[in-house]
Chains A and B, each alone.
Chain A
Amino acid sequence: MYEICALFVGIGLRMWLFRMPRVLLWISSRPEIETPLTSWGRLIEGEALMRNSQSYQNKHSYHGSTLLLALISYLNLNAPSSVEILFIASDVISAVALYLFAQKFLRKELKSQKECKEKLFKGVSSILIKPEHVSKVPTIICALYMCNPFSLATCISKSSVTFNNLFLALFLLSAVQGSIWQMAFYVALSTYETLYPVQLLLATGLCAWKYQEKPSTLKICYLKSLACFTFWMALILTLSFLCEPTTSSLLSHYKFILSAPDQTPNVGVFWYFFTEVFDHFHTFFICVFQINVLIYSIPMSIKLKSHPVFLVFMLIAITGIFKSYPSVGDASLWLCLLPLWSHTFSYLRYPSVTGAMLLTSTILCPVMWHMWINAHSANANFYFAATLAYTTALVLITTDTAMAYLNWHVRIREGLKPCVAGTSEKAVLRLMN
């Protein structure tokens, strides 16, 4: 019941904010919210260019995917008010998908906890997943997603991160249902928009292997997911090629994401570095930064083999922090999923520090921007420091959550207190395989 209230509050907030042009203008100009890849203004410019000269390949114009441009321009031409409804609907569907996902996931976790009761240490019942988790957490997640300022701002500024979050939320939902076709579909869609969710293929196989009704080996799951993903990607790319029949436009947005030529400030780590790097080191450092985004997927898939949903969470978090053009909308998705691991919160080492850091840096970013751009009393270093604090806060939240999660899994086997010092017992880290 509360989730319906949360949904309506969220819809109401969005519709109210859409009617305020000054807020829209201010939010759409925030570099933390709109990036050259996802901004609405650039999309409209690309649409106008496409109408007048049939080529929107311009340095200062739209750099996203062709299908999004085609869809939005079609809607804008025929029914302009439906664009706002599309964005609000996308947020609503994401919230509903996250709610259902959280419910199903926690139910399955509770079930497997009950099945492994004998393996658990005595006396750990205080930290286990309880039925109230299953009833309260999904509502909290839905409410968080609909009402948190990051996703509100993303929806209001009509940035395409909204759609990316939609695809990832639906991916999560289909992951706990175990259907490979749907998972591959959503991964293909979000890979088509922004390249980085291709890492989720590693998690697709694992989710399918864990959550499928009829059991099969891991290899078959991986092969099936790869085949489905290839099929869906081929379909989407063919459709995109039909819409805009030039090969350069097919992969131009991938080229933009990978080579990151636009150094407009955003909350990421790319822009500041690449304004200063010498030209002959440019390619090398682009490769380094892009590898930094993608490299964590392989070791984490090995480690979190039997916790695929946590793996997906970590991949979304790391991608959202280190990608070439991040925004606060990328962070809003996985920050809303933190209550899923609320049973592990007692093992968080510094939650108040990271929370305060996130809050402070979020408030500081617009202040530093104003001081830099409008008041001319600061420079780019100030703004980069604020965004670096924001990034560090997110990284610390991610690593702390991971540590707490793994710690929890150890504690339920070994007991709440660690081994008594001075004994000959060895501590062995073993997950719930």
Chain B
Amino acid sequence: MHINITPLAFLLYIISTSHASLAKNTKVTQEVNKHFSGSSHTNNWAVLVCTSRFWFNYRHVANALSVYRSVKRLGIPDSQIILMLADDMACNPRNPRPGKVYNNKDQAIDVYGSDVEVDYRGYEVTAENFIRVLTGRLPADAPRSKRLSTDDRSNILVYMTGHGGEDFLKFQDAEEISNVELADAFEQMWQRRRYHELLFIIDTCQAVSMFKRFYSPNIMAIASSQVGEDSLSHHVDPAIGVYIIDRYTYHLLEFLERVSPGSKETMEQLFKVCPKHQCISTPGFSTHLFSRPISRTLISDFFGSVRDVDVTDWSFTAKPNPEVVDTNKRTKASGNESANRRYSYSQQFVTKDSTSDRLGTVENTPHPLVGIASSIFLCLMVATVMKTLIS
């Protein structure tokens, strides 16, 4: 019987190597698992939109600002938060506490504060601007603070609050955005790979209708009420006479207060926030477009800005590069003229004579005939004036 040596040797090799790596097996499993359920995003962004204005919609502004504070506390920097508010609460003449916006009648936290950065305020909060921010179709001179500069490894949290209806959301009493437009905006974002994963939270009446039409991958959505239900507000602040926060956001904040930047709460727990007996409306969820299981998706994937830190146990010393030119000493030894040349203001602009450094080049000096003619004319003028005055 002829025994084939090769598969036997191969099998032996496998067994021997796997025996050696048994100790590392669990770590490998973890790594492999992480690739399938851990998020591979590298940066976090948040778009927080409050679509109402006027004093009696105080609670919507408080909603948005509270989520803003939570998201900031959990680590997303202001440069990666787009906050769109009408911003007419803090300095409203009806606000008895000027410059402050509270989300609870015990006035525990001033969610406005002195470090709030509202990117779109007042009448800039329009449906058009919201879609432009999402899709990135802003004019070339839009400042960086108004741009959503995300890439294909960005996780975005989109939180919207305001007055909504079936299949639409009202923007500042003047216009509305429909769920189809929103779904198309997200599809545009996906086609240009402007997000890695997106969590969409909406706290309005009949909120589920807004995410019904989503069709782009990697979107998870949470809504505070079903179609036909109204999202209700939580409590009135008798000092100011308006409702100060909405129920869903109130309970969302209670949940988020237990979350810290490194904690491992998952989306499954987030979905349990504000059940019907607390919220009166039934929250709705959409996970069919999301690729990872929600029991393994962390809250901090969307609400915080967690960085994977690799702690090494080795070090190295940085040596100064001898080729670097010391620009403080403009000696002839450097010999690098372009590093030493000072730029003047006019040279930065491309003009017709930008090739020439100085003013009054050959093109600029007028014809000598002009000089002669002008001086003759001036003399003539002076002579005539003298003649007129004297005679």
Contacts and interface: CB of A to CB of B under 8 A. Distances in A.
A391 interface: no
Given A52-B351, A97-B389, A243 B374 contact: yes
A242 B388 contact: no
B64 to A, nearest CB: 31
Contact count band on B: 20 to 34
Nearest to A238: B373
A316 interface: no
A71 B382 CA distance: 14
The secondary structure that dominates the A interface is helix
Contacts of A70: 374
Interface stretch (B14-22, B68-76, B360-368): B360-368
Interface string A236-265: 101100110000000000000000000000
Given A51-B359, A235-B377, A170 B370 contact: no
Contacts of B364: 51, 54
A3 B321 CA distance: 79
Most buried by A among B378, B385, B388: B388
Interface bracket on A = 20 to 34
A150 interface: no
B367 A182 contact: no
Contacts of B374: 67, 70-71, 239, 243
B352 interface: yes
A96 interface: yes
Interface in B248-262: none
Contacts of A185: 384
Contacts of B384: 182, 185
Contacts of B389: 93, 96-97, 100, 170, 173
B377 A53 contact: no
A347 B367 CA distance: 59
A207 B124 CA distance: 66
A177 to B, nearest CB: 6
B387 interface: yes
A244 to B, nearest CB: 9
Contacts of A71: 374, 378
A55 to B, nearest CB: 9
B5 interface: no
Given A239-B377, A243-B370, A243-B374, A53 B351 contact: yes
Contact of A182 (B363, B369, B387): B387
B140 to A, nearest CB: 22
A179 B388 CA distance: 9
A145 to B, nearest CB: 15
Interface of A: 51-54, 67, 70-71, 93, 96-97, 100, 170, 173-174, 177, 179, 182, 185, 189, 235-236, 238-239, 242-243
Top 7 closest A-B pairs, CB basis? A242-B370, A174-B388, A53-B351, A182-B388, A173-B388, A170-B388, A52-B351
9 contacts: A52-B346, A53-B353, A67-B374, A96-B389, A100-B389, A173-B388, A173-B389, A174-B388, A242-B370
Interface of B: 346, 351-353, 359, 363-364, 366-367, 369-370, 373-374, 377-378, 381, 384-385, 387-389, 391
Given A54-B352, A100-B389, A243-B370, 18 more contacts: A51-B359, A51-B364, A52-B351, A52-B353, A54-B353, A54-B363, A54-B364, A70-B374, A71-B378, A170-B385, A174-B388, A177-B391, A182-B384, A185-B384, A236-B377, A238-B373, A239-B374, A243-B374
